[in-house]
Structure 1
Amino acid sequence: MTDKDDAPFTTVRQPANLRSGLADTLMAQIESGDLKPGQRLPTEQAIMAATGVSRTIVREALATLRAKGLITTHQGLGAFVTDDPTPRSFSIIPNDLKSIDEVLRVLELRMGVEYEAAGLAAMRRTQEDIDRMQDRLDALDRALEKGGYGAQEDYAFHRSILVATQNSYYGRLFDTFGNIMVPRQWARLDKMTAAERKRHAARMRREHHAIFTAIRDGNEPAARRAIRTHLLKSAARFEELRGSSLS
């Protein structure tokens, strides 16, 4: 490999959030043309030397780029920028959500999408939609009562809201999140006392029931308020986690 091949990495500082920071740096260099279609990336060792991050971090960043269709790897040859590195679809993959900051960014995005979707669902929901939402809500209640995370049930309930908009694009967009929209490792239920877990479950049930009731009753303003309140409170809880991790 030539010195020119390593040039894009000679001025890269160690990112604050190592996993997503290195991936973002590489993506920016691809999008700007510093790393051109078909160009071979520096070796893992060269990237480690330039950035000061570990081999594990480098490999996770490269895995993120592969998942986004920006690079391909060839055994014995290394990693190459794809011939057409423009991402063809939006996606959120687990490696994107390795920090509370990234989770908060996803919550911001969800708020914009779900605020409008809740209002549309309140105006357009059918009895079939109401029954589906009730079924998903009951499943979430059961998961929370058992002391579980309820991640899959939570995702299914929120997705049923988007289905109720009668606009299939909402559901297709939400499918990019999957049930990683709130990574389980950040819930920290294992660190809660029994009383804290009980309060957490009650709060989650209360917020989701408020959303369902507003949509079921066709109350558009209340549906928008309820989903916004729920997501704002979720963001506030993650802000608290971030604060405690920094203290």
Structure 2
Amino acid sequence: MADKDNAVFNTIQQAPNLRSNLADMLTAQIESGDLKPGQRLPTEQAIMTATGVSRTIVREALAALRAKGLITTRQGLGAFVSNDPTPRSFSIIPNDLQSIDEVLRVLELRMGVEYEAAGLAALRRTQEDIDRMQDRLDDLDKALEEGGYGAQEDYAFHRSILVATQNYYYGRLFDTFGNIMVPRQWARLDKMTSAERKRHAARMRREHHAIFAAIRDRDEPAARRAIRSHLSKSAARFEELRDATA
């Protein structure tokens, strides 16, 4: 590898946070021009040596850059900065969810992703995954019992399902969206009576516990049914709200 290809990485110090930030670091170097269009990236081994992260982390970071259109790979030659490194990324931001129709479109997307993820999680989950899911479920139960929205806890529970697939792309997809995947601005708890709030909380707990139990018991069909039922009922509630406010 030419010295100029390695120069960017010669000064990188090994640090604990590089595990999660390697892709961001490479993106910043491309966007700043430190890594120029057409320039060959250092080898995986060189990046590992410079940053102290594992080969798996390096490959994940390079895959993320390829998905954004920032780099290309050439058979037998390695990875190169794209000649036109314009990021190609997809995200959902809060402004996208200003109508119930947009919320329903997001729920359709979630159903497609999470239906498959729940089945995979039931087949592949480890005891560590189950413990994590149980903790997230307990947090959600507590938030609902205290009369809160539980949006952040809801998001964390659903993300723990994606992690249990053992396919890191699922979790990374959810991370792209963040907890706006659970649009609490439309929950309208403040307009519910005390009895309605209790029914809402009980329904939420019941649906999430059914998903958890199916994955815990390695029941793939039941896991898929439970997640589809939960998201379908959420969609139905939003449709009712849309019709009521039309």
TM-score range, shorter chain: 0.5 to 0.7
Identity in percent = 90
| Matching of residue 157 in structure 1 with residue 157 in structure 2 | yes
Structure 2, unaligned runs of 5 or more? 1-83
Aligned 8 A contact 2:154 2:182 in 1:
no
1:117-176 CA distance string (max 9 Å, x none): 000000000000000000000000000000000000000000000000000000000112
Partner SS, residue 239 of structure 1: helix
1:16-67 CA distance string (max 9 Å, x none): xxxxxxxxxxxxxxxxxxxxxxxxxxxxxxxxxxxxxxxxxxxxxxxxxxxx
Matched residues, number: 165
Per the alignment, residue 111 of structure 1 pairs with 111
State the AA in 2 paired with 1:120.
L
Per the alignment, residue 176 of structure 1 pairs with 176
Per the alignment, residue 224 of structure 2 pairs with 224
Aligned 8 A contact 2:115 2:228 in 1:
yes
In structure 2, distance between residues paired with 1:115 and 1:137: 18
CA shift at 1:88, angstroms? 1.4
TM-score, normalised with respect to structure 1? 0.65
Partner SS, residue 149 of structure 1: coil
Closer/same/farther in 2, CA of residues 129 and 96 from structure 1, 3 Å limit = same
Aligned 8 A contact 2:125 2:165 in 1:
yes
State the AA in 1 paired with 2:226.
A
Partner SS, residue 218 of structure 1: coil
Partner SS, residue 214 of structure 2: helix
Aligned 8 A contact 2:104 2:235 in 1:
yes
CA shift at 1:181, angstroms? 1.1
CA shift at 1:90, angstroms? 1.1
State the AA in 2 paired with 1:179.
N
CA shift at 1:244, angstroms? 0.4
Per the alignment, residue 189 of structure 1 pairs with 189
In structure 1, distance between residues paired with 2:181 and 2:198: 22
CA shift at 1:177, angstroms? 2.0
CA shift at 1:182, angstroms? 2.4
In structure 2, distance between residues paired with 1:85 and 1:228: 38
In structure 2, distance between residues paired with 1:232 and 1:114: 12
State the AA in 2 paired with 1:154.
D
State the AA in 1 paired with 2:231.
L
| Matching of residue 129 in structure 1 with residue 129 in structure 2 | yes
In structure 2, distance between residues paired with 1:192 and 1:237: 14
Alignment map for 1:1-247 (pairs within 5 Å): 88-246=88-246
Partner SS, residue 91 of structure 2: coil
CA shift at 1:89, angstroms? 1.1
Per the alignment, residue 57 of structure 1 pairs with none
In structure 2, distance between residues paired with 1:154 and 1:86: 34
1:87-108 CA distance string (max 9 Å, x none): 5111110010000000000000
